[in-house]
Structure 1
Amino acid sequence: MAGTIESLAAKLAEDTMKVMDQTGEERLYVEVGKVLAAASQSLEEAYLTEVRVRLAERQARRFLIRRMNELKAAQAPKDGQ
């Protein structure tokens, strides 16, 4: 049963993130979580964990990209040198 819950939660989180990206609704996952809470607390918890992990990964990735861009800019040859 745990494997089913985890796989359903992962797929639902992935689909939710796609809709969030397309619509710009940053808190859509909260609404989906409320729908799940009414039917299955176990699935709701697994789903919210999946969404939070994906959101955290995105934030960390943006940070790394920003840091790499700063590093490249600092190492770039200066004009006139």
Structure 2
Amino acid sequence: MSDTITNLAAKLAEDTMKVMDETGDDRFFVEVGVVLGAASQSLEEAFLTEIRVRMAERKARQFVIQRLTDHRSKLKAIEKQ
């Protein structure tokens, strides 16, 4: 895939995620994908990949943070005993 497509897809995904965060519309990326698909299937595929990667990273990061929070809570409970 060309650098141009990759760069454009990454920037568009970043901007789309910002809109999703601000509006609370977690499916907005689907609408953007439809618009892209009508104009460029290559850019649509690259964009959707970028979105999936970002969403997966967020979910994994939330998991990691929750695990650490739980661990620290357990340690505090033990220390209070």
Both proteins in one fold, TM over 0.5: yes
Counterpart of 1:8 in structure 2 is: 8
Superposed CA deviations along residues 2-48 of structure 1, whole A, max 9, x for unmatched, are: 10000000000000000000000000000000000000000000000
RMSD of aligned alpha carbons: 0.9
Letter in 2 for 1:48: L
Tell me, yes or no, if structure 1 residue 37 matches structure 2 residue 40.
no
Letter in 2 for 1:65: I
Identity of counterpart residues, as a percentage?
Answer: 65
Distance 2:69 2:53 in 1: 24
Higher helix share: 2
Q: Give the TM-score, by structure 1 length.
A: 0.94
Point out where structure 1 has 5 or more consecutive residues left out of the alignment.
Answer: none
Question: 1:71 Cα shift?
Answer: 0.4
Distance 2:38 2:63 in 1: 36
Q: Give the TM-score, by structure 2 length.
A: 0.94
Question: 1:70 Cα shift?
Answer: 0.5
Point out where structure 2 has 5 or more consecutive residues left out of the alignment.
Answer: none
Letter in 2 for 1:51: I
Letter in 2 for 1:25: D
